[in-house]
């Protein structure tokens, strides 16, 4: 028996409408009987001069209906319990199957209210007494077969067939053993309408039936917790076998299931205490899956707020940015874990924290207060690309969580990295394990990465360059995920612009946007404090500390910690520069570029702040002041690496790396970054040859014609 698909259980179909004869189609009546009127009707009449028509409820029309032919007006389609044939009248068996008696096995979801008088059931003897035998029809239903009905004394554990003679008002069931030869055996489940997850809170203490997808299976020291999602939401469902023993071991994540249980609350959250659960197959499973996917697709649609600042490049990137926002929202609504990877500098951290601020409230809203612990992780990457060390850690965590909690493989979101050929080896490994990946980056992109990504946002795809920082893109994407995050995160775009020294017009606009809260000097201090603390955090996200530095917490603590960290960072930088500047060697190249080289391995402090990249940048800034209005390139090199910083030189570092790799095949050259700012690696034995060829290429680069006027501006 199930609801009629044509009339959805109503028993009738609406075939039209006709004007209401009581109000002539107006929906209101001009007079009412004061003797029969309610106080609300009289008040409405006094205020409006008329009241709502009681016949049509104010609609002005009366629906015309006719009995549903599909179910004969019963509202339910009656099917033979054995062969599934459609019955023309209310019943259980078709004429062919009714030649044999029907024996039921009660499902664990059933209780005494589901037992029918006169029905035959299969039970098990669970107790013996002087007056008869106790028979369990299920774990929840027990009856008594009195001695007067027993032809012989059964043994404990015997399986017997019994007919229900009576059910007392207090739930006591009287049974009589019967002999059954040929028969039909079916499992009887509790007949309940399907309840949506969003409506469970209205059914506290009541049994419900639910259909959905198992998102996660978590074994506790007591019950097994199944996280189940349907088209309306997610709910935790608890099943108890024995303390610490896995209940329903055949049920795993990503299965479509039907469960029956009682709704309760735990820690102020709705929970279903499972009585029975089974996996759905075939059309039933497909129907549930399709409903969930359609619902999530609609709920995951991102918001579309206007950009915070005017930008043709970011405007052209909006479709891809919305794709990223939608995939992130989809993962949250499906309770899929998210790993947010980012470069460990001011730009990468600002962009990632902006997105984090937008998604954490949504994760808690969908999955409950502890969902963040299981479904989200932010991890910095020391290199400006997704390296093998990163994917190894992410895969290790993911596979452990899958084995321990039945979690799905996570969605990897890469910010301020993920666009270059250096990312490909890690991406290939991720693809083997089914990890979906998103990239939001402003490093010069390589087409090779796109085959491993489901969405890729990069200003180079819209005619821009690294001047559009990842922090700017991250803030705009965060607003698409959750517009309520705007006031919290909009200053992060300005921090990233200052931290990455962006000269794009958008940088000035984002800085101007937050000038009422942060001066340019404030932004520089915050960016320096972020870089300084990121160095000591290494592979830790340092969420609470970073939130204070980025002014996402208490203002007084933000001001104190930024001041302290800036003092410490500046002291470390000055100490480094005192040791390094005197050892810089400067040369004027044929194209007029002043090339400065520093051996950071031998003439800079190691294993402390600032690291080689930051040291090279600080040295470059001082030398730019020294060689005012001239093109400058600074190279900080070590045994097997070189860091490049430039001003006014039209370099293409990724292209130079590819050329070096061909021209010096034994050099093991790789690396990249932005076009004019980046780093390369090589084997230490070929350092002299690689650096010589690199200097030669820099000397052949074109120089900005208007560099003097640009620097002056």
- The answer to whether the beta carbons of residues 136 and 124 sit under 8 Å apart is yes
The CA distance from 527 to 550, in Å, is 9
Q: What is the DSSP letter of 25?
A: T
Alpha-carbon distance of 477 to 462, in angstroms, equals 16
Domains and CATH numbers, the chain: 97-188 (2.40.50.140), 197-299 (2.40.50.140), 312-518 (3.90.1640.30), 584-712 (3.10.310.40)
| Under 8 Å between Cβ of 262 and 209 | no
User: How many Å apart are CA 437 and CA 433, to the nearest integer?
Assistant: 12
In contact, 241 and 291? CB cutoff 8 Å: no
Q: Can you spell out the DSSP letters for 405-421?
A: H-PPPPEEEEES---SG
Tell me what the pLDDT averaged over the chain comes to.
Answer: 89
Average pLDDT over residues 353-366: 94
Rounded mean pLDDT, 336-365: 95
How many CA within 13 A on the CB side of residue 337? 25
Return the residue matching tokens 């290790």: 396
> How many of the other CB atoms lie within 10 Å of CB of 148?
8
What whole-number percentage of the chain has pLDDT above 70?
Answer: 92
* Contacts of 579 by beta carbon, 8 Å cutoff, 6+ apart: 603, 604, 605
pLDDT 10s digits, 453-465: 999 999 999 999 9
Give the C-alpha distances (Å, rounded to integers) separating 380 from 6, 197, 397, 411, 521: 55, 36, 15, 16, 26
Contact 304, 322 (CB under 8 A): yes
Where residue 291 falls (left for φ over 0; alpha for ψ -120 to 50; beta otherwise) is alpha
Instruction: State which H helix or E strand residue 459 sits in.
Output: none
Sheet holding 585-588, edge to edge: 585-588, 594-599, 632-637, 641-647, 678-681, 670-673
The widest CA-to-CA distance across the chain, in whole angstroms, is: 115
Which helix H or strand E contains 650, and what residues bound it? Answer: strand 649-650
The DSSP element (H or E) to which 328 belongs, if any, is helix 312-333
Give the model's pLDDT for residue 51.
Answer: 65
Token pair 């402090």: residue: 605
Task: Quote the CA–CA distance of 696 and 711 in Å, as a whole number.
Answer: 25
In tens, the pLDDT along 424-446 reads 999 999 999 999 999 999 998 99
Q: For residues 562-585, give the mean pLDDT.
A: 96
pLDDT given at position 561: 97
Question: What is the C-alpha to C-alpha distance for residues 319 and 457, in angstroms, rounded to an integer?
Answer: 9
Confidence of residue 23 (pLDDT cuts 50, 70, 90): confident
**Structure confidence at residue 45 (pLDDT):** 47
CB 106 within 8 A of CB 138: yes
pLDDT of the residue at 43: 55
Q: Can you tell me which residue has the tokens 């470069």? A: 343
- For residues 192 and 207, the answer to whether their CB atoms sit within 8 Å is yes
Residue 312, token pair as written in the block? 């043709």
- Residue 711 has a pLDDT of 47
Tokens describing residue 664? 């010096």
Q: At what angle do helices 520-537 and 555-580 cross, to 10 degrees?
A: 70
> Does the structure show a pLDDT above 60 at 50?
no
Q: Are 565 and 532 in contact (CB under 8 A)?
A: yes
Higher per-residue pLDDT: 150 or 318: 318
Interval 472-518: pLDDT, tens: 999 999 999 999 999 999 999 999 999 999 999 999 999 999 999 99
Pick the more confident residue, 24 or 206: 206
Is 599 in contact with 688 (CB distance < 8 Å)?
A: no
pLDDT digits (tens, 9 = 90+) for 204-218: 999 999 999 998 888
* C-alpha–C-alpha distance, residues 646 and 629, integer Å: 13
* Rounded CA separation 485/328 (Å): 15
Spatial separation of the C-alpha atoms in residues 254 and 474, rounded to whole Å = 31
Backbone angles phi, psi at 634, to 5 degrees: -120, 130
Compute the average pLDDT of residues 55-72.
78
Residue 519 pLDDT? 96
Cα–Cα distance for residue pair 146/177, rounded to 1 Å: 10
For 656, the token pair is: 């130079």
Alpha carbon distance 698, 594 (integer Å): 10
pLDDT digits (tens, 9 = 90+) for 574-617: 999 999 999 999 999 999 999 999 999 999 999 999 999 999 99
Q: Who wins on pLDDT, 556 or 100?
A: 556
Helix (H, G, I), strand (E, B) or coil at 436: strand
Q: What does DSSP say about strands 338-343 and 411-415: parallel, antiparallel, or unpaired?
A: parallel
Report CA-CA distances (Å) from 108 to 139, 175, 403.
Answer: 6, 19, 28
The arithmetic mean of pLDDT across residues 129-136, rounded, is 91
Sequence-distant (≥ 6) Cβ neighbours of residue 281 within 8 angstroms = none
CA distance to 42, 57, 539, per residue, from 22 (Å): 18, 11, 75
- Asked whether the beta carbons of 436 and 408 are under 8 A apart, the reply is no
**H/E run at residue 61:** strand 61-67
Q: What are phi and psi of 383, to 5 degrees?
A: -85, 155
pLDDT digits (tens, 9 = 90+) for 658-706: 999 999 999 999 887 778 888 899 999 999 999 999 999 999 999 987 6
Span 219-247, average pLDDT: 90
Closest CA to 604 of 646, 572, 633: 572
Query: CA–CA separation, 629 vs 709, rounded Å?
Result: 8
- Across the range 378-386, mean pLDDT stands at 91
pLDDT of residue 77: 65
Residue 107 has pLDDT above 50, yes or no: yes
Radius of gyration of the chain (CA): 36
Confidence band for 30, pLDDT divided at 50, 70 and 90: low
- Of the pLDDT bands very low, low, confident and very high (cuts 50, 70, 90), residue 712 is very low
Region class of 75: left (phi > 0), else alpha (psi between -120 and 50), else beta = left
**Nearest-angstrom CA–CA distance, 227 and 131:** 46
| Mean pLDDT value across residues 547-557 | 94
Report CA-CA distances (Å) from 311 to 315, 445, 463, 589. Answer: 6, 20, 12, 37
DSSP assignment of 508-519: HHHHHHTTTT--
Banded pLDDT at 8 (limits 50, 70, 90): low
Q: Kindly report which listed range (96-100, 174-178, 497-501) carries the lowest average pLDDT score.
A: 96-100
Q: Identify the band that residue 70 occupies on the pLDDT scale cut at 50, 70 and 90.
A: low
pTM of the model as a whole: 0.77
Lowest mean pLDDT among 31-35, 83-87, 297-301, 607-611: 31-35
- Least confident stretch, 41-55, 217-231, 614-628: 41-55
Q: Exposed/middle/buried for 486, CB within 10 Å: 0-12, 13-18, 19+?
A: middle
**Which regions of 657-712 does DSSP assign to beta strands (E)?**
670-673, 678-681, 702-703
Is the pLDDT assigned to residue 152 strictly greater than 90? no
**233: confidence class by pLDDT, cuts 50, 70, 90:** confident
The predicted structure's pLDDT at residue 34: 47
For residue 713, what pLDDT is reported? 47
Give the pLDDT score at 597.
96
């Amino acid at each position: 028996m199930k609801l009629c698909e044509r009339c959805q259980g109503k028993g009738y179909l609406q075939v039209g409408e006709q004007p209401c004869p009581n109000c002539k189609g107006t929906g209101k009546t001009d007079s009412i009987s004061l003797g029969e009127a309610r106080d609300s009707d009289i008040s409405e009449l006094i205020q409006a001069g008329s009241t709502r028509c009681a016949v049509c409820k104010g609609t002005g029309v009366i629906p015309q209906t006719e009995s549903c032919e599909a179910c004969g007006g019963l509202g339910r389609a009656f099917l033979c319990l054995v062969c599934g044939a459609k019955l023309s009248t209310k019943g259980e068996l078709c004429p062919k199957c009714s030649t044999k008696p029907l024996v039921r096995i009660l499902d664990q979801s059933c209780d005494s209210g589901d037992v029918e008088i006169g029905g035959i059931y299969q039970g098990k003897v669970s107790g013996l007494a002087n007056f008869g035998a106790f028979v369990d029809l299920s774990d929840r239903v027990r009856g008594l077969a009195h001695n007067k009905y027993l032809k012989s004394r059964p043994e404990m554990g015997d399986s017997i067939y019994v007919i229900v003679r009576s059910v007392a008002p207090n739930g006591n069931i009287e049974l009589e053993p019967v002999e059954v030869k040929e028969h039909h055996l079916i499992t009887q489940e509790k007949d309940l309408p399907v309840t949506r997850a969003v409506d469970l809170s209205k059914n506290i203490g009541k049994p419900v039936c639910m259909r959905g997808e198992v998102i996660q299976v978590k074994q506790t020291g007591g019950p097994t917790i199944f996280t189940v999602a349907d088209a309306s939401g997610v709910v935790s469902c608890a099943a108890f076998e024995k303390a610490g023993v896995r209940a329903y071991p055949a049920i795993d994540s990503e299965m479509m299931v039907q469960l029956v249980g009682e709704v309760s609350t735990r820690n102020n959250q709705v929970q279903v205490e499972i009585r029975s659960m089974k996996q759905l197959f075939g059309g039933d499973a497909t129907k549930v899956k399709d409903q969930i996917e359609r619902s999530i697709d609609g709920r995951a649609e991102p918001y579309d707020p206007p950009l915070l600042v005017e930008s043709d490049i970011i405007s052209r990137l909006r479709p891809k940015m919305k794709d990223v926002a939608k995939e992130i929202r989809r993962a949250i609504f499906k309770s899929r874990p998210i790993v947010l990877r980012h470069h460990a500098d001011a730009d990468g951290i600002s962009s990632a924290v902006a997105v984090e601020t937008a998604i954490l409230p949504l994760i808690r809203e969908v999955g409950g207060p502890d969902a963040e612990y299981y479904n989200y992780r932010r991890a910095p990457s020391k290199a400006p690309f997704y390296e093998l060390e990163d994917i190894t850690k992410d895969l290790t965590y993911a596979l452990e969580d899958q084995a321990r909690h039945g979690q799905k493989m996570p969605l990897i979101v890469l910010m301020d990295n993920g666009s270059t050929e250096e990312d490909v080896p890690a991406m290939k490994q991720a693809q083997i394990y089914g990890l979906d990946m998103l990239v939001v980056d402003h490093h010069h992109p390589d087409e090779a990465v796109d085959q491993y990504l489901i969405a890729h946002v990069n200003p180079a795809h819209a005619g821009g360059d690294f001047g559009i920082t990842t922090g700017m893109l991250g803030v705009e994407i965060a607003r698409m995920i959750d517009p309520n995050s705007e006031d919290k995160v909009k200053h992060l775009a300005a921090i990233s612009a200052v931290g990455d020294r962006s000269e794009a017009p958008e940088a000035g606009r984002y800085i101007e946007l937050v000038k009422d809260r942060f001066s340019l000097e404030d932004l520089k201090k915050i960016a320096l404090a972020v870089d300084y603390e990121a160095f000591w955090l290494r592979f830790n996200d340092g969420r609470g500390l970073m939130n204070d530095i980025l002014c996402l917490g208490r203002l007084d603590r933000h001001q104190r910690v930024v001041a302290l960290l800036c003092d410490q960072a500046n002291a470390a930088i000055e100490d480094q520069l005192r040791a390094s500047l005197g050892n810089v060697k400067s040369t004027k190249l044929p194209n007029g570029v002043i090339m400065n080289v520093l051996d950071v391995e031998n003439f800079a402090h190691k294993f402390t702040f600032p690291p080689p990249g930051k040291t090279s940048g600080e040295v470059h800034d001082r030398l730019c002041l020294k060689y005012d209005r001239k093109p400058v390139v600074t190279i900080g090199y070590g045994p097997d690496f070189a860091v490049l910083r430039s001003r006014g030189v039209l370099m293409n570092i990724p292209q130079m790396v590819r050329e070096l790799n061909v021209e010096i095949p034994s050099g093991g050259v790789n690396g990249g970054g932005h076009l004019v700012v980046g780093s390369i690696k090589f084997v230490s034995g070929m350092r002299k040859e690689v650096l010589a060829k690199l200097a030669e290429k820099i000397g052949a680069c074109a120089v900005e014609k208007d560099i003097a006027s640009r620097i002056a501006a």
